[in-house]
Amino acid sequence: MTVLLLLGPTATGKSAVAAAVAEKTNAEIISADARAIYRGLEIGTDRPPPEVLDRVPHHLVGALDPGQTYDAVRFRSDCERLVAEIHARERRAIVVGGGTLYVRALTRGIFAGPPADPHLREAFGQQTLAALRAELAYVDPASAARIHPADRVRLTRALEVHRLTGRPLSATWGSEVPFPWPLVRVGLTLDRDELQRRIEERVRRMFATGLVEEARRLWDRHLPPDVPAVRTIGYQELSAHFSGEYELEEAQRRIVKNTRAYARRQLAFFRSESGVQWLDVTRLSLREVAAEVLDAWRTADSDLESIPC
């Protein structure tokens, strides 16, 4: 049985489309959003509204406390377990989200490697990006060339693997285990101006519906700065505002700016994935987009042919 993988940059409407397709196909949704898994981040992660969560089963949404960590290795393991459970219920599975490393854990497989070492992570967290890059370039030049110089998370993980195993992370390339089920990959994209408009509109809506208060509750917990929830766009900028670095208006402007930059990085990342059927949804309604996604899924899976678009 195939699994639908719906990907694309933020603000393209993936979650709503996935829910619409799920209702048509008796499917359950697995979130591949690296931040939606945390409780208390409903507004800032633009989590599906309660009525949608009530209608369509969602997994890996609001499952962890913000003080916990989660990574692509755990996601891959959880995703395999969940798909097996969903299929055992004679239902279909849809994986949806923009978590780039989570998506790659499915499309290209993953090397599990040693578990995270909190002491090493703390030590690496005190080093500058330049220092991390320099060390990685010395011990694992192939990984250093592949990892973006500003990607502290992946730089840290590559160094951690080398410190714990004595082998460069690049030595594991090619040993990744493929996903057990065929993936039907569909990507959503928008005209650049429309994507920027939607991002601005969404940030305004988040502020109007309580993002500042939600971020304040997270801030009041005084979590370590390297916790993923704290580093999430929206909460990170508002944390700087709460600490007095700049005014609220500047925090909102930075959230828009950083979200736009994140969307560009997502799109560039996903464009490098093979086998993705891209749909430009700029002028389409939710119903029309869902119909096109379902049609792409039906074309790849003959068992779905009896389901109308």
Residue 298 has pLDDT above 90, yes or no: yes
pLDDT digits (tens, 9 = 90+) for 210-243: 999 999 999 999 998 888 999 999 999 999 999 9
Cβ atoms of 109 and 183 closer than 8 Å: no
Length of the chain equals: 309
Average pLDDT of the chain is: 93
Tell me what the mean pLDDT of segment 257-270 comes to. 94
Residue 309 has pLDDT above 70, yes or no: no
Query: Rounded to two decimals, what is the model's pTM?
Result: 0.86
Whole-angstrom CA distances from 147 to 2, 144, 158, 284 are 31, 5, 9, 36
Domain with 65, as residue range(s), is: 3-110+178-196+265-304
Residue 213 included in any domain: no
Residue 86 included in any domain: yes
Q: Report d(CA 34, CA 101) in Å as an integer.
A: 9
Tell me what the mean pLDDT of segment 20-37 comes to. 96
> Are residues 133 and 70 part of one domain?
no
Residue 305 has pLDDT above 90, yes or no: no
Q: Is the dihedral of CA 18, 19, 22, 28 positive or negative?
A: positive
Report residue 176's pLDDT band, with 50, 70 and 90 as the boundaries: confident
CATH code, domain with 62: 3.40.50.300
> Are residues 183 and 58 part of one domain?
yes
pLDDT digits (tens, 9 = 90+) for 193-205: 999 999 999 999 9
